[in-house]
Amino acid sequence: MQLREYQRIKEQVWFDTLPNGLSIYVVPKKGFFKSTAVFATKYGGSDRRFKLGGKWHDTPAGVAHFLEHKMFDKKDLNVMQQFSSYGASPNAFTSSGMTAYHFECTENFEENLKILLKFVTEPYFTEESVAKEQGIIAQEIRMIEDNPQFVVYRNLMQALYSENPIRDSVAGTVESIAEITAQTLYYCHEAFYHPSNMVLCVAGDVDPERIRDITKEILPEEKKETAERDYGKNESPLPHENRKEVKMEIGIPIFMAGAKLGSRLAGIERQRQELIGDFAMSLFMGKSSPLYARLYSEGLINNTFYGGTSFFPDGAVAVFGGESRDPDAVFSAVTAEAEKFAAESPDRAFFERLKKAALGEEIRGLNSMYGICTRQLPGHFEGFDPFKSIEILDDITIEDAISFIEDNLKPEKLAVSVVRPSK
C-alpha cells in the first residue's frame, strides 16, 4: 500500500487500488477505541437513468435508498444481529450521489469488516420482502415529509431545477416506491455494487495491510465497467421558478434561498470551488460578518442562520437560510448587500482571521473517525484529496471570494423557498 503523509494536520493515509478496481483508504488513529469502516458505492438517489448492457434504463425515484434498506435483509441471517454479536453498530445512508454502509466498533474489527463487505455485495431480494419494506419505507417517507427542514430544501431544489433529479426526495414518494420490484433491485445492484464503482474507507487503530488482505479475500476478483448515467438536460443558469411557499404546523417561518453555481467543476477544481464557495459565504454572511451582526441585531435572523454550498450529481448550489420572522426582509437585505460587496471589499485583517478560523474548522473535523471516512468519500468519487484542503485554503484570495458572491448571489439567479406556520 502507498503511504501519504500530511505534515500540517499530522495525519497519514494508506492507499491502494485492487485489481478489481476497489480503492481502499486507511487512516491510522492511535489511541482511539473506536474504529470505523465505510463501504460506499457511487450510486445515489439521483442515479435514476443509466445504461447497462447497451440499453438505457429508467428507474423510479427512491430505488437507491430502498436498496440500502433491503441489503440488510438476508435469506437466513440477520445482519444487524451479526454485527451486534461482534459489538458493532452498523448503519447506512443514501444521498443523492452515493450509498454508504458503515459500522463502528471497539473490538473484533476484522470480523465486522468481513460482515460489512459480504452483506453489501451479496444481494437477496424476494417479492414478499420487497412488499413488506414498502410499508416501512412509506412510513419513513411520511415522517420525512412532516419535517419542515426537508420540505424547505426540496422545494428550493424544485424551484431551482427543471429536470435534475435533485428535485425529488432521495427516498422517493409513496407512489414511486410502489413501482419497485425485486427485479428492479437486482438490476440496480448489478449495475452499481461492484468493486470498481466502490470505495472502502477505514479510520482507527487498525492494520492497513490486514484490511487490504481481507478485502481481497472477500470481494469478487473481476473488474466490471461502470454504468453510464444521465441526469437530464443542461439546466439554465436561472431558476426554473422564483419562489415556493407552503404552510406547515411549525412555530416560526423557515426559509432557504439559493442559486445554481455557474459551472459545476470536477476533480481538484471542484474541491477548490467548494472551498472558495464556503469561505466566501462565511466572509459575506458568516457569524463574524457585518451582515450577520446587523441582521441578528435587527431580530431578522437567529443562530440557525447559515450560508454555504451544496454539491450533488450534475449540480451545485450556493444556499442560505434559517428561521426568520420575515424571510423576505432577510432575502432583500442579503441581495442588496451582495451588490455592494465588491465595492465595499471586506478588510484584509478580517479576511486573514477567517483563514485562521477555517483552518481550525478543518482540523476539528479530524477528531471523528466517521467524519474522517465520510470526507474521503466525495473526494474519492470525484477525484480530489480532502486532506489537502488546508493547502488549497491557503491560496484562496479575497478576489476569489468576492467574485464568488458577485457571480452567484444575483437577484435574478436566486430562488427562495419558505415554510410558514399554518396558524
**What residues are annotated to the active site?**
68
SS (H, E, C) 44-85: CCCCCEEEECCEEEECCCCHHHHHHHHHCECCCCEHHHHHHH
Q: Which triple of cell numbers denotes residue 57?
A: 434504463
For other proteins, the closer CB: 13 or 358: 358
| CB of residue 137 to other proteins, shortest distance in Å | 9
| CB of residue 65 to other proteins, shortest distance in Å | 14
Nearest to 36 by CA among 368, 345, 362, 318: 368
For 356, other C-beta atoms within 10 Å of its C-beta total 9
For other proteins, the closer CB: 15 or 351: 351
Helix axes 290-297, 267-285, angle to 10 degrees: 50
How many helices and strands in the chain, by DSSP H and E? Answer: 15, 15
Answer yes or no whether residue 278 interacts with other proteins by CB under 8 A.
no
| Mask for 280-299, x = binds other proteins (CB under 8 A) | -------xxxx-xx--xx-x
For other proteins, the closer CB: 163 or 361: 361
Which residue in the set 5, 55, 135, 221 belongs to the binding site for other proteins (CB under 8 A)?
135
| Mask for 143-182, x = binds other proteins (CB under 8 A) | x-xxxx----------------------------------
Which of 120-128, 175-183, 273-281, 346-354 is the region at the interface with other proteins (rule: CB under 8 A)? Answer: 346-354
Answer yes or no whether residue 101 interacts with other proteins by CB under 8 A.
no
Tell me how far apart the alpha carbons of residues 333 and 331 are, in angstroms, rounded to a whole number.
5
Q: Are 264 and 315 in contact (CB under 8 A)?
A: yes
Please, which of residues 194-253 interact with other proteins by CB under 8 A?
Answer: 248-252
Sole residue written with cell 470481494: 219
| CB of residue 120 to other proteins, shortest distance in Å | 17
**Which residues, 6 or more positions from 252, have their beta carbon under 8 angstroms from its beta carbon?**
323, 324, 325, 421
Torsion of Cα atoms, 99 then 103 then 104 then 107, to 10°: -150
For other proteins, the closer CB: 291 or 317: 291
Nearest to 80 by CA among 103, 53, 109: 103
Answer yes or no whether residue 306 interacts with other proteins by CB under 8 A.
no
| Contact residues: other proteins, CB under 8 A | 9-10, 29-34, 80-81, 84-90, 104-106, 132, 135-136, 139-140, 142-143, 145-148, 248-252, 287-290, 292-293, 296-297, 299, 302-303, 323, 325, 350, 353-354, 356-361, 363-364, 366-369, 422
